[in-house]
Chain A
Amino acid sequence: MSTPRNIVRLPKPATSAYNPNRPLAANALIRAQVRHFAEAERHLPPEFRTHIDPHKIETEGEASIYIRKVTEAIHATGGRPRKVQVP
């Protein structure tokens, strides 16, 4: 499909790049994402809740576990449209 002439070599990250223990305090985006997932979890049926306290999440790795559980629960509920209460 491609000629050797038009192949561009990909970079390789350092092995030290991976750090799931990075403090959540260092990333405002994931902090906000956790907050939003906590809001979404409030609207899940009780049997689908994670029983994880989002306030106790301290690292990126812990956040990813929580986000994964809520995402899977949202899909497991079958995508039934549900009314969100206006706070």
Chain B
Amino acid sequence: MLVLGIETSCDETGLALYDGDCGLLAHVLYSQVELHADYGGVVPELASRDHVRKAIPLLRELFRQAGIDAGAVDGVAYTAGPGLIGALLVGAALGRSLAWAWGVPAVAVHHLEGHLLAPLLDAEPPAFPFIALLVSGGHTLLVWVGGVGEYRILGESVDDAAGEAFDKTAKLLNLPYPGGPALARLAEQGNPDRLRFPRPMTERPGLDFSFSGLKTFALNTWRSLEPSPDNAAAVARAFEDAVVDTLVIKCRRALRQTGIGRLVVAGGVGANRRLREHLRELAVAEGGRAYFPRPEFCTDNGAMIAYAGYRRLLAGQCDDLAIRATARWPLDSLQPPGPVVQS
């Protein structure tokens, strides 16, 4: 079964072809990062405009890279949410219409399900059940994953997402947009013993996160210091250490609470080198193993949507002709795939 995956929930146009027998055949990505850089954040209307402009050329490129005829597609999966509604609608309208015109089934995929299943695209995928830490610019979640469509949220951020806190802290240090990766690079040069930031919500039990106070702490610390490169690096380092440490503490709790050793780390912040190192050590110390999707599948991409869609289409799921797009869509409302028509 050959599945086309379409992802347009935010500022990346991602397309991929996944085949049940041969695995991932091709994936292409167009990032709008430069378009939004001038504004210091994603401008929804500009994002939607860019998706509709880039989708078809990118689709042609995808089939060219895969070296197969578009008529060979057996099903279409598109991201239906959560995300920016206007951006979602472009990919959803395109995907649902392609499927209709080809006469093949379509499924609306939950963006976070795509992220949660992304490690299954790699060699040596984790077995179910596993614990997933999903950390990105929009989400910070700890999820128990029992199987495709079986998700239980163990903890989540009560305010800012981890990636959002990274970006905002980077902004106050005047780092270029998007700030997260730039902040991580600056942190490499920072003295880890200069400053120490709090580890929010680790003193009390529970698996929820809060990063908004940490961002404020960073701001107040930065204001109290001379604005030198050394001090900026020290703030970056102290901030990154605090976020990483907090995530590690919560992951340890989640593994111990559930008695599961397999830890999947997904989402854009999951590409952070220091976070990866610490979580890898943690999982080993807990007698388990950490799994990381390859970096290009940590950030938004079409491959994870193609794969999640493939799993659902294989189980017989087939949506009606409605073009589905929803800005808010709770992850734990999903059901395991079955031969049902979603309507």
A pairs with B: no
Report which A residues bind B (CB closer than 8 A). Answer: none
